[in-house]
Amino acid sequence: MPDLEELWTVYNRRVYAYMWRALHDYDVTQDLVSCTYMRALVATTNGNGATSNAERWLFTIARSVLLDFFRSRRRVTFEDIDEWGDLPDDLPTPHECHERAMTCQQVRLALSKIPEGQAVAIELGLEGYAWDEVGEVLGISHESAKARATRGRVHLRELLQEAA
């Protein structure tokens, strides 16, 4: 089995992209990637490291970390509705909410069909990251990051037009 440093070198970008696609939050993604490698360190220290396929083992840990995160956020707290105050008049209607959700679902589906590097470049660009930061996450130059995002948007547009 490869050591933890080698796992980090080989799989860090893929683990990050996996977490990013589920979370779309830079800070939480960084925290959960760190948590994934901490759990891997603890497992290898306890003699429960990967036996045959290190990649599958690491992504099983990443998936577990992600599921634990989502479960922890599902906890519901109840508040007194009177404490909410007046709701704004410009809230979207249920129909508008449904249409927005359907549009988001179509875009997410189309994003899942384009190459991962293009999808991550588009998503990070939409989150407001500079191209040099996008390039750093993907391990490429900022020019290549811009090119991937451009190619991805073209591909995305074609998929969305096909779906319409």
Domain boundaries, the chain: 4-73, 96-157
pLDDT computed for residue 82 by the predictor: 64
The CATH class, in words, for 96-157 is mainly alpha
pLDDT of 1 above 60: no
Please work out, in degrees rounded to the nearest 5, the angle formed at the alpha carbon of residue 136 by the alpha carbons of 21 and 103.
Answer: 30
Mean pLDDT of 35-58: 83
pLDDT computed for residue 52 by the predictor: 72
Q: End-to-end distance of the chain based on CA atoms, in angstroms?
A: 48
pLDDT of 153 above 90: yes
Burial class of residue 138 in the structure, from the number of CB atoms within 10 Å of its CB (0-12 exposed, 13-18 middle, 19+ buried): buried
